C-alpha cells in the first residue's frame, strides 16, 4: 500500500469535511440570526401598537404534514371490555352507548370527573379533548387528538356525551379516526410568524390583546365517505375574535 498517497487522501478528505461542517454551521447561524431579527422586529411592532400577548407562543419552526382521518370500523371485540353500558352499532364506524347508571358530574371538579369517565367508559378515551357544550341539547362535544394536537372539524364531533336534566352523563355517541400523514413533509410557520401574518393583514389593531395562540389541525369540508383531510393551523384569539392561520401557506380565515 502507498502510505504516502493514503495519507494525502486522508488529509484532503479531512479538510473537505471540515469545510463542509463549517459551511453548515455558518448557514445555521445565519438562519438563526434572521429569525432573531424577524422576532425582534415583530416584538417592536407589537410594542409600538401596544398589543399584548397573554399566552405562551411557540417560537421554534416545526415541520410536518397534512393529515387524513379515516373512520375505522369498531368491532364487538373492541368494546367487549367496556363495562356498565349497553352498546348499539349505528353502522360499522359509529356506536351509541347507554349507561346502566347515570354518571354524576360534580360542578367543583367537572374536568377531572369527565377525564375519569373517558378513561373508564370510552374506547380510546385518552385521545379525546373537550371542545364545546351544546346547552340546548345538553351535550358535551369532544374532538380527537393527533400527536398531542387537537383535530377540529366543522362536521359532527367524533365523541358526544349526552347529559340528563341533573347534569349526569347517561349516554354517548362515538366514532374513531385512524390518522395518517399525507403528502410531503413541509416547514410550518411558527406562532410568531402566524401573528405577523395577522398584523400584515391589518387584523390586529392598536391596544388589542392576543389571548390565545394554539396549534392544531382543522378540516373545513364535509367528510367524504369515511375520510376527512385536516390542515395544520394556528388558532389566534384577538379581543374575543378567532382567526385561523394556515401553518403551511399563511392564508388567514375567520373561525365560523
User: How many angstroms separate the CA atoms of 219 and 217, rounded?
Assistant: 7
The H-or-E segment that residue 234 falls in is strand 227-238
Going from the C-alpha of 22 to that of each of 13, 16, 18, the distances in angstroms are: 14, 10, 6
User: How many angstroms separate the CA atoms of 79 and 183, rounded?
Assistant: 33
Does residue 239 surpass a pLDDT of 60? yes
Does residue 121 surpass a pLDDT of 70? yes
Per-residue pLDDT band at 238 (split at 50, 70, 90): very high
Least confident of 33-37, 92-96, 136-140, 173-177: 33-37
Least confident of 24-28, 98-102, 110-114, 184-188: 24-28
Domains plus CATH for the chain? 39-67+180-254 (2.40.128.690), 73-175 (3.30.310.160)
Least confident of 15-24, 85-94, 108-117: 15-24
User: How many angstroms separate the CA atoms of 235 and 178, rounded?
Assistant: 23
Does residue 221 surpass a pLDDT of 80? no
Per-residue pLDDT band at 37 (split at 50, 70, 90): very low
- Quick: pLDDT tens for 61-102: 688 899 999 999 999 999 988 999 999 999 999 999 999 999
Q: What is the mean pLDDT of the chain?
A: 84
Where are the strands (E) in 25-176, listed by range? 52-53, 63-71, 85-89, 95-103, 128-134, 139-146, 149-153, 159-163, 169-174
Hey, is 121 helix, strand or coil?
helix
Name residue 255's beta-bridge partners.
none
Q: What is the pTM of this model?
A: 0.77
Query: Which set of grid coordinates corresponds to residue 111?
Result: 374536568
Percent over 90 (pLDDT), the chain: 55
What is the mean pLDDT of the segment spanning 36-41?
52
More confident residue, 202 or 15: 202
Going from the C-alpha of 58 to that of each of 34, 189, 192, 215, 236, the distances in angstroms are: 17, 10, 7, 9, 12
Quote helix, strand, coil % in the chain, to nearest 5: 30, 40, 30
User: How many angstroms separate the CA atoms of 163 and 6, rounded?
Assistant: 79
Does residue 33 surpass a pLDDT of 50? no
Tell me the chain's radius of gyration from C-alpha atoms. Answer: 25
- Whole-number pLDDT of residue 253: 85
Query: Counting beta carbons within 10 angstroms of the beta carbon of residue 143, is it exposed (0 to 12), middle (13 to 18) or buried (19 or more)?
Result: buried
More confident residue, 174 or 36: 174
Indicate the pairing of strand 169-174 with strand 139-146: unpaired
Amino acid at each position: 500500500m502507498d502510505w504516502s498517497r493514503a495519507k494525502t487522501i486522508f488529509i484532503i478528505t479531512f479538510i473537505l469535511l471540515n469545510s463542509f461542517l463549517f459551511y453548515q454551521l455558518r448557514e445555521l447561524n445565519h438562519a438563526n440570526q434572521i429569525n432573531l431579527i424577524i422576532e425582534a422586529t415583530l416584538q417592536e411592532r407589537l410594542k409600538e401598537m401596544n398589543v399584548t400577548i397573554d399566552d405562551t407562543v411557540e417560537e421554534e419552526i416545526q415541520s410536518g404534514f397534512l393529515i387524513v382521518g379515516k373512520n375505522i370500523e369498531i368491532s364487538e371485540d373492541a368494546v367487549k371490555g367496556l363495562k356498565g353500558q349497553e352498546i348499539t352499532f349505528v353502522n360499522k364506524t359509529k356506536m351509541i352507548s347507554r349507561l346502566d347508571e347515570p354518571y354524576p358530574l360534580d360542578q367543583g371538579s367537572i374536568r377531572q370527573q369527565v377525564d375519569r369517565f373517558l378513561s373508564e367508559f370510552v374506547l380510546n378515551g385518552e385521545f379525546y379533548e373537550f371542545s364545546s357544550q351544546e346547552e340546548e341539547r345538553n351535550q358535551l362535544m369532544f374532538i380527537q387528538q393527533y400527536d398531542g394536537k387537537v383535530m377540529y372539524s366543522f362536521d359532527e364531533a367524533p365523541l358526544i356525551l349526552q347529559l340528563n336534566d341533573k347534569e349526569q352523563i347517561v349516554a354517548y355517541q362515538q366514532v374513531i379516526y385512524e390518522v395518517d400523514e399525507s403528502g410531503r413533509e413541509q416547514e410550518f410557520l411558527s406562532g410568531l410568524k402566524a401573528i405577523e401574518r395577522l398584523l400584515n393583514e391589518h387584523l390586529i389593531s392598536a391596544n388589542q390583546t392576543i389571548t390565545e395562540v394554539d396549534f392544531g389541525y382543522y378540516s373545513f369540508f364535509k367528510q367524504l365517505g369515511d375520510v376527512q383531510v385536516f390542515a395544520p393551523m394556528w388558532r389566534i384569539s384577538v379581543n374575543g375574535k378567532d382567526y385561523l392561520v394556515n401553518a403551511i401557506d399563511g392564508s388567514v380565515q375567520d373561525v365560523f
